[in-house]
Structure 1
Amino acid sequence: MARGGRTSQLPEEILDHILGLLPIQEAAKTAVLSTVWRDLWTTLTQLCFDDHFFKCFEKNYPWAGEYRFYVFTKILLQHKGTIRKCVINLSHARIPHVWSLSFDCDKWLSLVTSKGVQELLLNFGFPKYKLPNCIFSCKTLTTLHLRGFSIEPLNLPCTLPPNLTSLCLEYVTFAPTNVSNYVVDVPMLKNLSFRSCTNILHFKTTARNLCSLTINGLCGELDQSLWLNFDLKSIRTLDLGYWSLQNFLGPRAQFQPNALSVELVKLSGLCFEYHVDVSAFVCLLCVCPKLCELEITFSVSNAFHYGDVGMCSFP
């Protein structure tokens, strides 16, 4: 058997996949196995700094405090090669001084975007942090998931990453803008999701290739002209929550979209106890003449003493 064991003879992509299944701190321990494994963890194409990473660090080194962020930075500085996917979740990292960490966050994102990252999931836990421009100008980025940020349109460039195909915004607050013609151009975008976002009316986009749109759990001021903010011509999948359906297709709506090419509709949190719900539902069916499949997750009236949630699908 060759020195270092049979696993050392495996192709690099398989070794990378094996290490990618381990937490970073465990992947680093494989460096003692052999000279082949010594630097493998520094070339991982997937990096995950999530709750498990920080909880493990705090458990083993409770005295270290903010030193864990220094370790985080060192890992990124020692990394060699391309980072395909990176997850950074600081929501439960017990950050004592938010503003003192902003410089580190900028450095992390600069390092990650300089290494050809394709998928980026960010949850910093402090919405006042301003995302650096390196995020919006990253040409390799195709998937971006932002959770818990506040975005001010005037502080953003008029384009998102040029090759972005999937954008998920969760618990994101959009600040208003006084620029009437402000539009975010995302020419390659295919999937767009808003989950529990606030004031998405301030987010206006042109996405000519958009195939899937999700709007769920809206917060803040709503308006029936939301459909004017998106180009719906190419959409094939439409996923709407209860309030989205109510406010933008109900009887109060001032604007109704033209006939859509939607083939799959997903509705969640519906309750047909009230006439307004039925009206919005019927309107949705009318504007989707090409509908092939309908999935409904509904809330059952307490009057019937059923469970809270049910689901049905109509192919």
Structure 2
Amino acid sequence: MGNLSPLSDTRFSGEYMSSIGAGQPGSPPGRVKFPSLYTKFDLDRMYQDPDAPMLLESFEAAWLKVGGNEDIPRALTTTSPNDLDVDNWKKTIEYFQKEEHKVASERNKKVCQMQTTVNRGGLYHKNYKRSSVTCIGEDRINNLPEDLVDSILERVPFEDAVRTSIISKTWRYRWTEIRALVFDKKFSKKFAKNEAFGHNEFIKIINQVLTLHKGPILKFHHHIPNMSVDSFQEVDQWMLLLSRNGVKELILTSSNQHYELPSYVFYCLELTKLELENCFFKPPLEFEGFLNIEKLLLKDIDFGANLCGTKINLPQLKTLSLYSCTNVYNFNIKATKLRNLTVIAYPDAMFATLLSNLTKIRFFYIDAQFLKMFTAENIPKWFPHPVNSLRHLWFGKFQFGDLDQLHGALCLLRNSPNLKTLTMNLEMEPQADIGPASSILKSPNSLDYKLCRLTTVEIRYLEGSKPELLFIKLLLAHSPSLQKFTIKISRASNVQKRLEIAMKIMQFPRASTKAKMFYQL
């Protein structure tokens, strides 16, 4: 069809009207509106039917849907809709004659070739199936790359990954090849909402999954829920299965009684990440260490009294986190590549060998109780040389009234010449004697070293005691590169006291001209 000629604002071109046969006497209406269809269908007979207007309207709608071009020029002769002016109506009609619309119309025609029945302005195929619905004849979901599908399934909750089996036949068993199986706390809580849920049902679900699973399991996250159990035989069997499937990431937590790790776990030599919570850690005698592990987190772990002196070789370990473990006596960990170390709630820990590996550590998060071990006799043995690699230091539950903690903190600061950030969470011990701590901090030799690289300091839960203020004054005077000092004052103090604390700190001299003080009152 050729392009439309310019049209006036109020009426259509007479030449164009005559070209489509409008107003020609004696012309059957079917010949005028559908000249190309007249040779194929008996349109004259259709117009003789009493219901001709309704039949014609349905016929025209169907023909337009499959790309009929005869309806486009006819639309120009039609009065524009009430809420659309003539100009916009012309532009709308002209759009249907553009090449892009013709291409789309031709494409839709191919889609409709398989459709045979007119159904209220739409077309419906009698052999329609859900699996045959496609977008422009192309099945994009079933043709996704396998790596992309695996990545998607590993990022959604496991129960949702299983539900993808209803998408199509291609997806029916894709979930059985997932390389990451996550049965965490969220998973167990969802099943616990069911009143019929119990130990047997939970074990049965995981057994079925592992039975149907195909291929390697690179990540396994399992939480043992709080339920009555006589033994952990099923869990032991799962650990055996994992040791034979090249698992690289194992996360095992328990809300139940302590779970004793079977020997199979210590033979998962391809592990790169291991997180354990509420377990007994008793490696076999021949165990020498995990050679590939890079991240190790141990929480509420009981190492047992017979582990004393056991050497654990972790040559690739970069991050070690230890929380509230017991029976840790001379726990011998050799980790020459250790970069991040977290030690929380270890009143009985003796990490002499571990601390000898601090020469390359960059992040050190330490419970203040652990600082008590930094006594005058231990410091020369543990820190014969400065820890030049240390960049970030964090003290938790620090009490200025405890002199052992204060000595340990000052020792670490003296031996960290390249320290950049310091964070302290304070904890005020009720009725603590703060006199000795104040005397130490007043001494000119309390910190006989400039913290030349320190740029950021944050002290939280400040009570405004004399030792706290003296320590802040000490840091400001010994940090020539300081840029940001943030103080979060304890909410236990009233507003007036908070303002008084801030006014006192603002009067302290600063070694850095760029230091900015931030207060969270």
Shorter-chain TM-score range: 0.7 to 0.9
Find the counterpart in structure 1 of residue 360 from structure 2: 234
Kindly report the root-mean-square deviation, in angstroms, between the aligned alpha carbons of the 2 structures. Answer: 2.8
Find the counterpart in structure 1 of residue 306 from structure 2: 177
TM-score (norm 1): 0.83
> How many residue pairs are counted as aligned between the two chains?
299
Write out the 4+ residue segments of structure 1 that deviate beyond 6 Å after TM superposition: none
Find the counterpart in structure 2 of residue 249 from structure 1: 374
How far the C-alpha of 1:282 sits from its partner, in A, is 1.0
In the alignment, structure 2 segments of 5+ residues that lack a partner are 1-133, 428-460, 466-488, 493-516
Find the counterpart in structure 2 of residue 104 from structure 1: 234
Change (3 A) 1:124 1:63: closer
Q: Kindly provide the amino acid, as one letter, of the partner of residue 306 in structure 2.
A: T
8 Å CA contact retained: 1:45, 1:82: yes
- Structure having the higher helix fraction is 2
Find the counterpart in structure 1 of residue 421 from structure 2: 293
1:307 to 491, 514, 521: 491
Q: Kindly provide the amino acid, as one letter, of the partner of residue 288 in structure 2.
A: T
> Whole-Å Cα distance in 2 between the matches of residues 49 and 170 of structure 1?
19
Find the counterpart in structure 2 of residue 279 from structure 1: 407
How far the C-alpha of 1:307 sits from its partner, in A, is 3.1
Find the counterpart in structure 1 of residue 293 from structure 2: 164
> Whole-Å Cα distance in 1 between the matches of residues 244 and 195 of structure 2?
30
Report the 3-state secondary structure (helix = DSSP H, G, I; strand = E; otherwise coil) of the residue aligned with 1:29: helix
Report the 3-state secondary structure (helix = DSSP H, G, I; strand = E; otherwise coil) of the residue aligned with 1:278: helix
How far the C-alpha of 1:172 sits from its partner, in A, is 0.8
2:251 to 105, 121, 132: 121
Find the counterpart in structure 2 of residue 311 from structure 1: none
Report the 3-state secondary structure (helix = DSSP H, G, I; strand = E; otherwise coil) of the residue aligned with 1:6: coil
Find the counterpart in structure 2 of residue 268 from structure 1: 396
How far the C-alpha of 1:5 sits from its partner, in A, is 4.8
Encode CA deviations 1:98-139: one digit per residue, 9 max, x unaligned. Answer: 41xx21011111222322221111013445432122221213
Find the counterpart in structure 1 of residue 333 from structure 2: 205
Which structure's CA Rg is the greater one?
Answer: 2
Q: Kindly provide the amino acid, as one letter, of the partner of residue 260 in structure 1.
A: V
TM-score (norm 2): 0.52
How far the C-alpha of 1:151 sits from its partner, in A, is 2.0
> Whole-Å Cα distance in 1 between the matches of residues 291 and 398 of structure 2?
36
> Whole-Å Cα distance in 2 between the matches of residues 120 and 104 of structure 1?
16
How far the C-alpha of 1:252 sits from its partner, in A, is 7.9
2:171 to 37, 42, 48: 37
Q: Kindly provide the amino acid, as one letter, of the partner of residue 248 in structure 1.
A: M
Encode CA deviations 1:182-208: one digit per residue, 9 max, x unaligned. Answer: 311122212111111123224212122
Change (3 A) 1:173 1:141: same
8 Å CA contact retained: 1:98, 1:126: no
Report the 3-state secondary structure (helix = DSSP H, G, I; strand = E; otherwise coil) of the residue aligned with 2:172: coil
How far the C-alpha of 1:275 sits from its partner, in A, is 4.3
Q: Does 1:26 align with 2:154?
A: no
Change (3 A) 1:272 1:43: same
Bigger mean CA deviation after superposition, 50-59 or 182-191: 50-59
> Whole-Å Cα distance in 1 between the matches of residues 376 and 301 of structure 2?
28
Change (3 A) 1:20 1:183: same
Encode CA deviations 1:231-276: one digit per residue, 9 max, x unaligned. Answer: 223222211112112x222568575422223222222222335544
Change (3 A) 1:252 1:126: farther
Q: Kindly provide the amino acid, as one letter, of the partner of residue 199 in structure 1.
A: N
> Whole-Å Cα distance in 2 between the matches of residues 10 and 295 of structure 1?
47
1:131 to 258, 261, 265: 261
How far the C-alpha of 1:6 sits from its partner, in A, is 2.5
1:46 to 180, 183, 187: 180
> Whole-Å Cα distance in 2 between the matches of residues 289 and 60 of structure 1?
58
Bigger mean CA deviation after superposition, 16-25 or 70-79: 16-25
Q: Kindly provide the amino acid, as one letter, of the partner of residue 387 in structure 2.
A: L
User: Identity over the aligned pairs, expressed in percent?
Assistant: 26
Report the 3-state secondary structure (helix = DSSP H, G, I; strand = E; otherwise coil) of the residue aligned with 1:294: strand
Find the counterpart in structure 1 of residue 206 from structure 2: 72
Q: Relative CO higher for 1 or 2, CA cutoff 8 Å, sep ≥ 6?
A: 1
8 Å CA contact retained: 2:179, 2:219: yes
Find the counterpart in structure 2 of residue 55 from structure 1: 189
8 Å CA contact retained: 1:127, 1:150: no
Find the counterpart in structure 1 of residue 144 from structure 2: 10
> Whole-Å Cα distance in 2 between the matches of residues 5 and 14 of structure 1?
16
Bigger mean CA deviation after superposition, 18-27 or 269-278: 269-278
Change (3 A) 1:274 1:82: same
> Whole-Å Cα distance in 1 between the matches of residues 321 and 158 of structure 2?
29
> Whole-Å Cα distance in 2 between the matches of residues 98 and 6 of structure 1?
49
1:196 to 324, 329, 353: 324
> Whole-Å Cα distance in 1 between the matches of residues 198 and 402 of structure 2?
56
Find the counterpart in structure 1 of residue 508 from structure 2: none
Q: Kindly provide the amino acid, as one letter, of the partner of residue 165 in structure 2.
A: A
Q: Kindly provide the amino acid, as one letter, of the partner of residue 13 in structure 1.
A: D
8 Å CA contact retained: 1:227, 1:248: no
How far the C-alpha of 1:72 sits from its partner, in A, is 0.5
Bigger mean CA deviation after superposition, 11-20 or 124-133: 124-133
> Whole-Å Cα distance in 1 between the matches of residues 199 and 300 of structure 2?
28
> Whole-Å Cα distance in 1 between the matches of residues 307 and 156 of structure 2?
48
Change (3 A) 1:201 1:260: farther
Report the 3-state secondary structure (helix = DSSP H, G, I; strand = E; otherwise coil) of the residue aligned with 1:201: coil
Change (3 A) 1:238 1:303: closer
> Whole-Å Cα distance in 2 between the matches of residues 65 and 265 of structure 1?
44
Report the 3-state secondary structure (helix = DSSP H, G, I; strand = E; otherwise coil) of the residue aligned with 1:244: helix
